[in-house]
């Protein structure tokens, strides 16, 4: 895949996860359901992960430590979602 198409895909993935975050936050603010809060935090971490992915593979491909930061963002999001699912289970 060319670098231009890859950058378009990475940007669209970041925008999609940002849209999911915004919609989930709006739903949480309207309804107050705590599971929506945890999933919105998960998608916020996914948004950060997608932004770092773009910078890691397109903007700064020679920097190797961005992979660790990207995986840390994804792992943080998964931990938040897992904590929310366990904490709010009935």
What is the largest distance, in Å, between two alpha-carbon atoms of the chain?
48
- Please identify which residue in the block is written with the tokens 């915004």: 22
pLDDT band, residue 65 (cuts 50/70/90): confident
* Parent domain of 12: 3-87
Find the angle CA(41)-CA(43)-CA(21) to the nearest 5 degrees: 90
Can you say whether the dihedral through the CA atoms of 68, 69, 71, 72 is positive or negative?
A: positive
CA distances from 60 to 39, 52, 57, 65, 66 (A): 30, 10, 6, 10, 9
Q: State the chain's mean pLDDT as an integer.
A: 92
Instruction: Work out how many domains the chain is built from and give that number.
Output: 1
pLDDT band, residue 63 (cuts 50/70/90): confident
Tell me the per-residue pLDDT of 25-46, one tens digit each, with 9 for 90 and over.
Answer: 999 999 989 999 999 999 999 9
Burial class of residue 65, CB neighbours in 10 A (0-12, 13-18, 19+)? exposed
Give the predicted TM-score (pTM) of the model.
0.89
pLDDT of residue 12: 95
């Amino acid at each position: 895949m060319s670098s231009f198409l890859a950058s378009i895909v990475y940007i669209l993935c970041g925008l999609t996860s940002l849209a999911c975050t915004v919609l989930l936050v709006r739903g949480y603010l309207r309804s107050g359901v705590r599971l929506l809060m945890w999933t919105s935090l998960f998608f916020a971490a996914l948004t950060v992960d997608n932004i770092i992915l773009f910078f890691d593979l397109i903007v700064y491909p020679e920097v190797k430590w961005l992979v660790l930061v990207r995986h840390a963002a994804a792992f943080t999001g998964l931990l938040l979602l897992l904590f929310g699912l366990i904490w709010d289970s009935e």
